[in-house]
Structure 1
Amino acid sequence: MTKQPSTRIVIADDHPLFRGALRQAVSHALEGADVSEVGSLESLTEALSQGADADLVLLDLTMPGVQGFSGLLFLRADHPEVPVIVVSANDEPTVIRRCIEFGALGFLPKTADVEQMGEAIRAVLAGSVWTPPGVDLSSPVDIEVADMVRRLSTLTPQQVRVLMMLSEGLLNKQIAYELGVSEATVKAHVSAILTKLNVDSRTQAVIAASKIAGTAWATTGASATI
């Protein structure tokens, strides 16, 4: 009899204690699951690039290398085939709705108990969307915001990285160094970002992202030239 491969789940959170709680929930929900833990977006990217494909990622919105929804945006662009459950201490309906709009299949507040965590994990692995009971996601859609969400979702993984660095105030030379590419390549990425977001400057791009992600995308230094 052929042994069925175990379900591979990656927990991405920078708090070891909470990662432990999530691991417990996963073990409770899925006996024999192969669970790995990472504490940053960089480590998550490395984990997903090695070995077997992940069946599910549990993603914290706030950890090193992540600003607002940037981690989710990057992950969905880089690994669109991997289901994602966002895990966050911010359980406002607006945040939950935005996560689903950006492609997450589930949202778990950090106050959820082990039973709820297990329920969410099983639902998403079965192909369903899971959000906390009682959360109303049916409020009227802001057309302008919805359009920007759609535009942000068209960015490539590298363009998401560049936008994150623009929000940190990095210059083209610094971004090129961090990404290991030429300044000309960075300029091309910035131009593509401006086109996709339908804005005229780096500052406008960061402000547009800030409107979607709240205050998580900084604007310091974003006014440097393309």
Structure 2
Amino acid sequence: MTTRIVIGDDHPLVQAALQSALSTVLSDLEIIACQSLDEALAALTGRAEEIDLILWDLTMPGVQDFAALFILLAQFPTVPVAIISARQDAATIRRAIAYGAAGYIPKSLGLPEMADAIARILAGEIWMPPNTGGRGSIQSADLELAARAASLSPQQLRILAMIVDGKLNKQIAAELDIAEQTVKGHVSTILRKLGVGSRTKAAVLAERLSFGR
């Protein structure tokens, strides 16, 4: 049975190394390499049920940090997403798991260790590096923030990331190719779901979620 993995990483050498490592533990493997969130969304649309795992770098172009994780989970809730990143501080790793990631793989791991971690995630484990405190150390505040963000639609998550970036409704509408009035409606819904009264407070909350662009 073919295992299909989407790799979101804009470094071709990383993609090649991962494919090489994974081929040692998976006999029938299809890698779908993507260099942006839009590429990944296009690759997943219409065939999400065929995808076994998404491996995602936190520093991809465009929507960065945890915004992409929330968007992928909101749009394709049945597909597990694991983070693979050069960032390896314990706080970031624990937050990724709190926000719904199926695992967190530091790029500093050797390729055999990466392949083993990915195999464990494919088997249904939530994989974290040792010495990060485990899932029990996740802060309740992070879980509460994650629940608020998870209530937003993929489009609303994109708009929230743009608000963090300082974009006005008119700019957001142009970038997303939607009506400005539609953006205003989404912003109102975002504020209500996040439990805040202004765009500024929404941006502050999103920054606490590491919602970068």
Give, in angstroms, the shift of residue 103 of structure 1.
Answer: 1.0
How many angstroms apart in 1 are the aligned matches of 2:79 and 2:141? 28
Contact kept in structure 2, 1:206 and 1:217, CA below 8 Å: no
CA RMSD, Structure 1 to Structure 2 (Å) = 1.6
RCO higher in 1 or 2 (8 Å CA, sep ≥ 6)?
2
Check the 8 A contact 2:94/2:137 in 1, yes or no: no
What is the rounded CA distance, in whole Å, between the counterparts of 2:53 and 2:9 in structure 1?
14
Alignment partner of 1:37: what SS?
strand
2:171 counterpart of 1:174: yes
What's the secondary structure of 1:87's corresponding residue?
strand
Give, as a single letter, the amino acid of the residue that structure 2 aligns with 1:18.
V
- From 122, 126, 139, the equivalent of 2:137 is 139
Report how many aligned residue pairs link the two structures: 211
When Rg is computed on C-alpha atoms for both structures, the one with the higher figure is 1
CA contact (8 A) 1:8 1:34 kept: yes
Q: Does 1:162 align with 2:175?
A: no
Query: What does residue 217 of structure 1 align with?
Result: 212
Say yes or no: does 1:9 pair with 2:10. no
In the alignment, the residues of structure 2 paired with residue 28 and residue 124 of structure 1 have an alpha-carbon distance, to the nearest angstrom, of: 16
Counterpart Cα distance in 1 of 2:144 and 2:67: 17
One of 52, 72, 83 as aligned partner of 2:69: 72
Point out the more displaced range, 67-76 or 51-60.
51-60
- Determine the C-alpha separation between the residues in 2 that align with 1:98 and 1:139: 10
Alignment match, 1:56: 53
Q: 2: distance between equivalents of 1:200 and 1:51? A: 38
- 2:24 pairs with one of 21, 24, 28: 28
> How much identity, in percent, do the aligned residues show?
45
Aligned partner of 2:109: which letter? A
Partners of 2:138 and 2:206 lie apart in 1 by: 20
Structure 1: distance between partners of 2:37 and 2:66? 12
Q: Name which of 115, 118, 122 aligns with 1:118.
A: 115
Instruction: Give the structure-1-normalised TM-score.
Output: 0.88
8 Å CA contact 2:95, 2:142 repeated in 1: no
> Does the 8 A contact of 2:99 with 2:143 survive in 1?
no
Structure 1, gaps ≥5 residues long: 219-226
Distance 2:160 2:14 in 1: 29
Contact 1:74 1:157 in 2 (8 A): yes
Counterpart of 1:86 in 2: which secondary structure? strand
Is the Cα contact below 8 Å between 1:69 and 1:99 reproduced in 2? yes
8 Å Cα contact 1:29-1:121 kept in structure 2: no
Deviations 1:19-74 (A, max 9, x none): 11111122122112011111111111111115463111110011112222001010
- Return the match for 1:41 from 37, 43, 48: 37
Distance in 2, matches of 1:135 and 1:169, equals: 34
